[in-house]
Amino acid sequence: MTAPGDLMQALFLRLKTDESLSALLGGAGLLEQASDKAAFPNVTYGRTSAFDLEIGVDNDNDQLVTLHVWSKAQGEAETRLIMDSIKASLDGAALSIGPRGQTGLSLEFAEARYDEDLAVYHGLLRFRALTQESA
């Protein structure tokens, strides 16, 4: 099984090595948690769900992972460019996480909107992470 922390590390490693995303973020815009002192734009790791509703138990082999994109640029173009870069890097990707097998990623949901309370553009991407155990 792939623990959520291991999955987060693998995702961030993949994103940190993506040169086009690094250029859009200015190099240091991947954060594990949102911070009032963070430079914009940035990407934060959101909630991970590993609960199987069908059988009612935790299932680390089938997880939903959320990434947040934050931008203070005029209009949503910067947010969309960052989201597109993340999609290109992760949607359909296969990650090796630990000795148990491959974790395949697929985009389940994406949305960009202006958050009036925070005065920022907020992009949300939710990926499904399915781990296929090695035989």
Residue 68 tokens, joined: 């947040």
* 79 class by beta-carbon count within 10 Å (0-12 exposed, 13-18 middle, 19+ buried): buried
Could you give all domains of the chain from N- to C-terminal order, each with its CATH number? 4-133 (3.30.2000.30)
Q: For 36-70, how does the pLDDT look when each residue is reduced to its tens digit (9 = 90+)? A: 888 999 999 987 777 665 666 666 778 889 999 99
Cα–Cα distance for residue pair 66/62, rounded to 1 Å: 14
Say what the pTM is. 0.88
Q: Say if residues 125 and 73 touch (Cβ distance below 8 Å).
A: no
Q: For 74-114, how does the pLDDT look when each residue is reduced to its tens digit (9 = 90+)? A: 999 999 999 999 999 999 999 988 766 789 999 999 999 99
Q: How far apart are the first and last CA of the chain?
A: 13
